Amino acid sequence: MGSSLSLWTQKRLVSNLYLMSHAQLAF
């Protein structure tokens, strides 16, 4: 259970960083 939760958190952090980096590049 804990491993799946950490994996979901990692995916969320990665997607957030990905979106932020793209937003900075767009502007």
Extents of the domains making up the chain: 1-27
List the structure tokens of 26.
């767009």
Prediction pTM value: 0.53
- Note the pLDDT of residue 5: 85
Which tokens in the block code for residue 9? 């958190």
Q: For 27, which DSSP code?
A: -
How does pLDDT run across 1-27, given as a tens digit for each residue?
568 889 999 999 999 999 998 887 765
Q: Which two tokens stand for residue 16?
A: 């957030």
Query: For the chain, what is the HEC assignment?
Result: CHHHHHHHHHHHHHHHHHHHHHHHHHC
Residue 24's pLDDT is what? Answer: 78
